[in-house]
Amino acid sequence: MRHDVSADEAGKRTDVFVARLTGLSRGLVAEAIKRGAVTVNGAPVRASHVLEPDDCLEYEVAIREPLVARAETIDIPIVYEDDDLVVVDKPAGMVTHPAHGSPSGTLVNALLGRLGTLPGDELRPGLVHRLDRDTSGLLVVAKNDETLSALGIAMKAREIKREYLGLVHGVPEHNQGKVDGPIGRDPHNRLKYAIVRDGKPAITHYEVREAFAKHAELLFRLETGRTHQIRVHLAAMGHPVLNDPVYGHDEPRFQLAGQALHAWRLSFVHPTTGVELDIESAPPPEYMHARALLDVRTKG
């Protein structure tokens, strides 16, 4: 499409103006600009480029295909299963549910391939909670509407206990403690989260499980479940999680699939039987290998 900028339209940012012309989101327009599919007077421009009178604006913005969660044949470790729910051990590197950028190959795709149908949101069917892509560990998934509702209520009431194991840089001053810091989008980087004044309440309890020379293994208990919560809180403490490129840095020498963080324990009352389930999953081999390297360096 081509548009000649009038005097009244001049002074506007390119991304804002193209979004207004097309009726599409600024995110889609930003993608088009990055591809070089938006030009002014024949030359690619930045999203922040300010338009001038008589500029010749040309643009081609692709509309995303609607996201659909499809069944896929993907092996996924099952730790517990009955007629109402299933507990899976998600590997690091697997996205929990479809999203733009990860429309397939997710945990939800794998679950649909195994179970057929799940209740709730079309893109997040059966999900009671989520894990970051590069965090491994336990997730409980509901098989029917009644279980999904009951587990959702239990999660909001903090009746589902979640514990994580993580390897971090440095050794915290205190053997146990609590980080209480509201979490929201990082004002300086919209791809990250941070402790911000107007964020959502977030509380992480930690305990030093073992101290090494320059690292430690910590046990985490969550009161809340904000996006990237443990990673944000530990980075704020000055003890970022090992191999976390977002809040710390990449450490390829440890050959980890993601950050050294594993959801190892899940405890809750079964909504149908009333029996308390206490399910554990050992960290993956890559995590244990990284831990062993830290231990060897300490002994050396």
| 56-60, 79-83, 128-132: range with highest mean pLDDT | 79-83
Tell me the per-residue pLDDT of 2-61, one tens digit each, with 9 for 90 and over: 999 998 899 999 999 998 888 887 888 888 898 899 999 999 999 999 999 999 999 988
Whether 190 has a pLDDT exceeding 90, the answer reads no
Q: Return the pLDDT at 215.
A: 95
Q: Return the pLDDT at 98.
A: 86
**166 in Cβ contact with 240 (< 8 Å):** no
Q: How far apart are CA 112 and CA 70, in angstroms?
A: 7
Whether 300 has a pLDDT exceeding 70, the answer reads no
pLDDT mean over 144-159: 95
Of 89, 132, 134, 244, the catalytic one is 132
Q: Return the pLDDT at 83.
A: 96
Q: What are the tokens at 190?
A: 């919209």
Give the DSSP H/E element, type plus range, for residue 78.
strand 78-81
More confident residue, 54 or 100: 54
Whether 280 has a pLDDT exceeding 70, the answer reads yes
Tell me the per-residue pLDDT of 161-180, one tens digit each, with 9 for 90 and over: 999 999 999 999 999 999 99
Q: Return the pLDDT at 299.
A: 56
Query: Full-prediction pTM beyond 0.75?
Result: yes
Q: Among this protein's residues, is 132 annotated catalytic?
A: yes
In this structure, the dihedral spanned by the alpha carbons of residues 6, 10, 14 and 19, taken in order and rounded to 10 degrees, is -60
Q: How far apart are CA 243 and CA 289, in angstroms?
A: 13
Q: 252 — phi, psi (to 5°)?
A: -60, -20
**Which amino acid is present at 253?**
R
Q: Return the pLDDT at 297.
A: 59
Q: Return the pLDDT at 126.
A: 94
Domains of the chain, start order? 2-59 (3.10.290.10), 78-299 (3.30.2350.10)
| Cα dihedral 220, 226, 230, 233 sign | negative
More confident residue, 22 or 272: 272
DSSP for 181-196, written as a single string? --EEEETTEEEEEEE-
Q: Return the pLDDT at 298.
A: 58
Mean pLDDT of the chain: 92
